[in-house]
Amino acid sequence: MTNLTAVVPVATRPGASVASPKKAVSALLANGILVLIGLCFLLPLAWLVLASLDVRASYQTQIPELLSLENFRAVLTPDLTFRPLWNSFLLSAGASVVTVVASVLAAYPLSRYSMRFNKPFMYAILFGTCLPITAIMVPVYSLFVRLQLIDSMGATILFMAATSLPMSIWMTKNFMDSVPISLEEAAWVDGASAMTALRRIVVPLMRPGLGVVFIFVFVQAWGNFFVPFILLLSPSKQPAAVSIYSFFGQFGAIAYGQLAAFSLLYSVPVILLYALVSRGMGASFCLSGAIKG
Amino acid sequence: MTAEVIVPALAGPAPAGRTGRRQKPTTTWRLLPILPAIVLLLIFLAGPVVWSFYGSFTNASLTGVNAQNPAWIGFGNYLRLFSDPVFPLSLGLTVVFVLASAIVGQNFLGLGIALLMNRAHRFVAGAVGTCVVAAWVLPEIVAAFVAYAYFSQDGTLNQLLAALGMTGPNWLYSFPMLAIVLANVWRGTAFSMMVYRAALNDVPIEITEAAMIDGAGGAKRLFLITIPMIKSSITTNLMLITLQTLSVFTLVWVMTAGGPGNQSTILPVMAFQEAFRFSDIGYGTAIATVMLLIGAVFSIIYIRALRPSKG
């Protein structure tokens, strides 16, 4: 634990407001409580990191006697790690590409033309974002059996894309609304069709927004366990979330360290993508600059 | 993936001057690009929903004759459901799970953290925010393993209790609901925290300062000014975390699998078990349909609550 707690020093600024000592005390209190809460959230994760480096790991959180990467070496095999991660990548990237393309196409008319169709459609979309997907997995399974789509990567990708479509159409439309229409009008005057204007002007301008949508869908698909667990049966097609679960079922009671190592390897891409998005958020929405030039 | 992106805010109408500029193509032609999205949504989202209603009236099974040719049995599954002693238990556990972990746990803790962050040192706020978000960013299966390890008999929680001289119970076996509620608070609080951070940033500091000058104390400022000003965020957040918590499956499945007995069998777990463990797809589908209806009710309340905020 010590190495992790050291990251969060209990630093306060008693001198921040000279006027009221009461405020300084309350700031100190706020800092103290926050640090405590942060520790509570961090504590369960400490096990994950420490166990992955410990050859003799158990469910106990302990400093490894001998730091080693042996757990990582043991799980880094094609069957255990590489193929499941590759499957995860295929599922997530496939779902993200399908979702982004379908959302951009759908968002364009919704954002650019005002039609009687828009409002009911957007409400239906909003309703779709609220649907508890977990609830429909049993009927989805029986529907997929009936359509003979069980164990099909393509169908699973399309299903994952469809479940994330409502949210991403919503996001894409909002991003597109903020792209000024005056740039397109210039293109129309020059004789470009709506689709050309979309491809050449709108999409490049909203690239940061589309990046957010892409990563949003990717992260969701990457972390999804229940959907592939139900729809993909053969181990050669299962993504890391499912293979990690079967690994836990088979060796969970023995190989804690390897389980932790595998979990970390599987989590790293999502953490990196999250960091990317939360970093880039601030700078990436300066679209208004485009209109001045 | 900050809260602003996830919480859908009903977009205002398109900027003035955008509408009615071009009348050339017909509406049908204009709607053409929406087609791929609509096809996907109809087949893979509306399809299962309709199929769910249909399937709940059949005796479809996982294997055997009834898997290929399920028979129509009318309200059979629903009659069985309402006389099944597990169903009211499961419904009750779901309500407890949502109330305790989302409405009380995530919501209040998230609001508390967001409020404290405004008073704390910026570095502390950032570091603690990262810790809280970390649990939320992890893939759900990893978060579930971590929670399993934490609450297991010789896990970290009992290590802590041992350090304090207490012998902790086997949480997952003796207090399964408490364990999954705490785990879900740990996993989901980040969402509420981000929603409330964004909302609190939008409260103009002048108003709080004016109240301070008028002599309003901290508690008074919180309850008479800050809370009323972020009311719409509170409603939005409550609805969204309720819907999210209604569809939690993996966390509970890995930690307790609904057990021991049925002591933590929330509705998604019950539907899964009936369908895949007891091979009764029709019955599982009936439970799924009930969940869909509950979700639909919450969604409609949520959408209605959003409406007035439409500028």
Q: For B156-206, what is each residue's pLDDT tens digit?
A: 898 888 888 888 888 888 999 999 999 999 999 999 998 898 888 888 888
d(CA B270, CA B251): 14
Residue contact B14–A101, C-beta within 8 A: no
> Residue B144: inside a domain, yes or no?
yes
> Residue B21: inside a domain, yes or no?
no
The shortest CB-CB distance from B149 to any of A26, A59, A171 is to: A59
Distance of CA B234 to the CA centre of its chain: 14
Residue contact B295–A130, C-beta within 8 A: yes
Q: CA of A187 to nearest chain B CA: how many angstroms apart?
A: 13
Q: Is B33:A108 a contact under the CB 8 Å cutoff?
A: yes
Question: CB neighbours of A219 closer than 8 A, spacing ≥ 6?
Answer: A92, A270, A273, A274, B1, B137
Question: What pLDDT is recorded for position A112?
Answer: 84
Mutate to test the interface with B, among A130, A202, A214, A220 (most CBs of B within 10 A): A130
Helix axes A21-52, B156-163, angle to 10 degrees: 120
User: Residue type at A274?
Assistant: Y
Mutate to test the interface with B, among A5, A7, A41 (most CBs of B within 10 A): A41
Q: Is the pLDDT of residue A11 over 70?
A: no
Q: Which tokens hold the place of A259?
A: 């389980």
Q: Is A12:A30 a contact under the CB 8 Å cutoff?
A: no
- Across B217-229, average pLDDT: 84
Q: Is the pLDDT of residue B14 over 80?
A: no
DSSP string across A50-74: HHHTBTT--SS----SSB--HHHHH
A179 touches chain B (CB under 8 A): no
Question: CB neighbours of A216 closer than 8 A, spacing ≥ 6?
Answer: A164, A167, A168, A171, A277, B1, B5
Q: Enumerate the residues of chain B whose CB falls inside 8 A of the CB of residue A247.
A: none
Among all chains, which residue has been given the structure tokens 């570091």?
B127
Q: CA of B63 to nearest chain A CA: how many angstroms apart?
A: 11
| The total number of structural domains that make up chain B | 1
> Residue B2: inside a domain, yes or no?
no
Give the model confidence (pLDDT) of A27-73 as tens digits. 888 899 999 999 999 999 998 998 888 877 777 777 777 778 888 88
Question: What pLDDT is recorded for position A21?
Answer: 64
d(CA A194, CA A199): 9
Q: Which tokens hold the place of A49?
A: 């990191």
> Residue B11: inside a domain, yes or no?
no
Mean pLDDT, chain B, rounded, equals: 84
Mutate to test the interface with A, among B32, B115, B116 (most CBs of A within 10 A): B116
Q: What percent of chain A has pLDDT over 90?
A: 29
d(CA A68, CA B222): 50
The residue in chain B having the minimum alpha-carbon distance to the alpha carbon of residue A48 is B146
d(CA B138, CA B64): 39
The shortest CB-CB distance from A114 to any of B19, B119, B218 is to: B19
Residue contact A142–B43, C-beta within 8 A: no
Question: What pLDDT is recorded for position A22?
Answer: 66
- Across B222-249, average pLDDT: 87
> Residue B78: inside a domain, yes or no?
no
Q: Which tokens hold the place of A217?
A: 């869908």
d(CA A262, CA A239): 13
Q: Enumerate the residues of chain B whose CB falls inside 8 A of the CB of residue A105.
A: 33-34, 36-37
Residue contact B137–A44, C-beta within 8 A: no
Q: Number of Cβ pairs closer than 8 Å across A and B? A: 313
A139 touches chain B (CB under 8 A): yes
Q: Is the pLDDT of residue A213 over 50?
A: yes
The enclosing domain of B225 has a CATH number of 1.10.3720.10
Q: CA of A30 to nearest chain B CA: how many angstroms apart?
A: 5
Among all chains, which residue has been given the structure tokens 């229409």?
A181
Give the three-state DSSP class for B58. strand
Q: Which tokens hold the place of A24?
A: 């300084």
- Judged by average pLDDT, the poorest of A274-283, B12-21, B65-74 is B12-21
Give the three-state DSSP class for A190. coil
Phi/psi-derived region of residue A132, left when phi > 0, alpha when psi is between -120 and 50, beta in every other case: beta
Question: Structural domains in chain A?
Answer: 2-68 (no CATH), 73-292 (1.10.3720.10)
- Judged by average pLDDT, the poorest of B48-57, B129-138, B203-212, B285-294 is B203-212
Mean pLDDT, chain A, rounded, equals: 81
Q: What percent of chain A has pLDDT over 70?
A: 85
- DSSP-H helix ranges across chain B: 3-6, 27-31, 35-41, 47-55, 65-68, 76-83, 86-97, 107-119, 122-137, 140-151, 156-163, 171-174, 176-201, 205-213, 218-221, 227-229, 231-246, 250-255, 267-272, 281-306
> Residue B32: inside a domain, yes or no?
no
Q: CA of A18 to nearest chain B CA: how many angstroms apart?
A: 15
Question: What pLDDT is recorded for position A14?
Answer: 41
Q: CA of B102 to nearest chain A CA: how many angstroms apart?
A: 15
Angle at B245 between CA B243 and CA B251, to 5 degrees: 145
Residue contact A138–B288, C-beta within 8 A: yes
Q: How far is CA B140 from CA A20, A205, A224, B58, in A?
A: 45, 34, 7, 33
Cis peptide bond prior to B85, omega within 30° of 0 = no
Q: How far is CA A171 from CA A213, A221, B51, in A?
A: 7, 17, 28
Domain containing B105: what range?
A: 85-309
